Structure 1
Amino acid sequence: MDPLEGVTAFTRVVDSGSFSAAARHLKISKSAVSANVQRLEQRLGIRLLNRTTRRLSMTEAGAAYYHHCARILAEAEAAEQAATALQREPRGTLRISAPDSFGWMHVAPTVPAFLKRYPELSIDISLSQAYVNLVDERLDLAIRIGVLEDSPLVVRKLAPSRLVACAAPAYLREHGAPREPDDLAKHNCLYTDLLPWGGEWRLAGKRGEVRVAVSGNLRTNSAEMLRVAALQGVGIAVLPTWAAGEPLRAGALQRVLEAWKLPASTIYAVYPGNRLMSMKVRAFVDHLIRCFGRTPYWDDGL
């Protein structure tokens, strides 16, 4: 038995919700689909699906296995597309969701060159902090930042997202710069709901991780609003370097507590695992990685 036959059959059954629908999709008989899944279960020595007359559901082992199967099929499709890339070009509409601040600062500038390179492709992009369901919203791709939930989404890393504590020179001249994390209690600290730890900043140094409860007169879910407030001298903010890199290089913001590190996260491209990665998705993700660079350009000089 070709191992991919069982993997494909199992994945299509889960995606479509039934053996009959999977058979129609694969253009084989229902009994062939069932046989492929059974042989896969026998080879693995585990039950992947709970079958009753009324419903079909994955076992715990099946759910874990499905996550990997979706990746395998996507990679197989990507390999096939790579082999024929010289004869074909992306076309159609690419539907994307991206965080608003990061989207307009770093995704939007990459779009014109991409559209110029692929004239038969159009882009429909939505910028929002909302955590959208790609399948329900019929999206091809989403850009997400932070820790991802376990899901069948296929994930590709785009760039690191580092954090820095910073403030405007005017604020630091008036209030002084904190020398230790505990000094933050004396400062107006601006914070965001985008970070999972919110008003409890976490800094790592020689004596390990220190958690400091901060307070201030501004709380927002927008990295851009936080940056503007920090630039205007309102207080100290924790900002991702993709938002603070330019004003830090220009001296409009200054880092504080440089000996202490804040938790870093990652910027990802994600797409539905029950849809093989199309050429248009792969082309755009590759384009973003080229534009951002191995070390992202927003970290230059930092």
Structure 2
Amino acid sequence: MDQLSAMRAFVRVVQTGSFSAAGRDMHTTQTTISKKVAALENHIGVKLLTRSSRDHALTQAGAEYYETCVNLLGELDEAEARARSDIALPRGVLRITAPVAFGRLLLAPIISEFFSRYPDIQVDLLLSDKHVDLISDGIDVAIRARQLEDSTLIARHLFNNNMLVLASPDYFEQFGKPITPNDLQQHNCLAYAGMKTVNTWRFYDDDKEITVPVKGNFQSDNGDVLLEVALSGLGLVLLPIWMVKPYLESGQLVQVLANYTGQDIPFNAIYPHSRYTPLKVRCFVDFLKEKLAQCEALTL
């Protein structure tokens, strides 16, 4: 058995989601991929995948072995690249996950420049506002607006998410404007359901933290939906500057509580920890930091 070939087949099955997709990706058949994975399981004496007629899932041992395989194969690929003096030419498929609005507004406008710099990299972009597991979903880089919670991952800070409280002029004409954060309790607040503290908004007056319990008749786990609902005049919303800047400039949304500092949530690029970070990952994260530092949408 060619163990390296079998390990690559196993990794691609996990990353692509099926034996047939892995076969297409590796220019071979589903049967060949299945045989390679079965031979690998037989060789190490552990079941890596539970199979059904329509699906498969990693076993606990399989999840741990997958992470090991990804790290080992990444180090091997980079060692080979160094030996070929090809380290300056990153290549391969880069799987990225990011929030929907971030992908639409900040990533899409700059991705063509990334390809101009690195023509041998192919990008597979998964946009979702839900938490995606890097290991089970075969993700190379995740863009997340949260603190790093897993010590097996590395976080590279991209920017602080400057959050603003806004509503449409029609809403304020009907219900008035809040003057202090505590006034929000008398307003219809549109909540982002993707946060653990969905009904709590935080502000800072100098060094003093103000925690406000808010309530409203609508919440969503999608920022774009909250933006559209706020534009319709339903209520107040807490959104980052880069999502709302054009609507502030056009007058379709009006900021309130500008004298109070909102909670800044760090945006990070997160990727699995390994001895050698794949060159394609390093190039993408460095590129993203560079372009976001120049992005006018991140500031008022």
Shift of 1:275: 5.9
CA RMSD of aligned residues (A): 2.7
Shift of 1:161: 0.7
| 1:298 matched to 2:289 | no
Contact 2:130 2:194 in 1 (8 A): no
Amino acid at match of 1:185: Q
Shift of 1:153: 0.8
Shift of 1:135: 2.1
State the partner residue of 1:253. Answer: 253
Per-residue CA deviation, residues 79-132 of structure 1 (Å, 9 max, x unaligned), is x98xx78x6211111111111221222112221221132222211111112322
State the partner residue of 1:188. Answer: 188
State the partner residue of 2:285. Answer: 285
Shift of 1:183: 1.8
| Cα distance change of structure 1 residues 271 and 174 upon mapping to structure 2, 3 Å threshold | same
Amino acid at match of 1:299: L
CA–CA separation in structure 2 for the residues paired with 1:241 and 1:275: 36
Amino acid at match of 1:152: T
| Cα distance change of structure 1 residues 222 and 275 upon mapping to structure 2, 3 Å threshold | farther
State the partner residue of 2:132. Answer: 132
| Cα distance change of structure 1 residues 96 and 232 upon mapping to structure 2, 3 Å threshold | same
Counterpart secondary structure, 1:289: helix
CA–CA separation in structure 2 for the residues paired with 1:275 and 1:252: 49
CA–CA separation in structure 2 for the residues paired with 1:88 and 1:257: 48
State the partner residue of 2:157. Answer: 157
Matched-pair identity in %: 35
Equivalent residues, number: 224
Amino acid at match of 2:298: D
Runs (5+) with no aligned partner, structure 2: 1-70
Q: 1:104-183 residue pairs with structure 2 within 5 A?
A: 104-183=104-183
Counterpart secondary structure, 2:261: coil
State the partner residue of 2:229. Answer: 229
With 192-201 and 236-245 compared, the bigger mean Cα shift is at: 192-201
Counterpart secondary structure, 1:88: coil
| Cα distance change of structure 1 residues 207 and 125 upon mapping to structure 2, 3 Å threshold | closer
Counterpart secondary structure, 2:198: coil
TM-score normalized by structure 1?
0.67
State the partner residue of 2:38. Answer: none
CA–CA separation in structure 2 for the residues paired with 1:225 and 1:208: 32
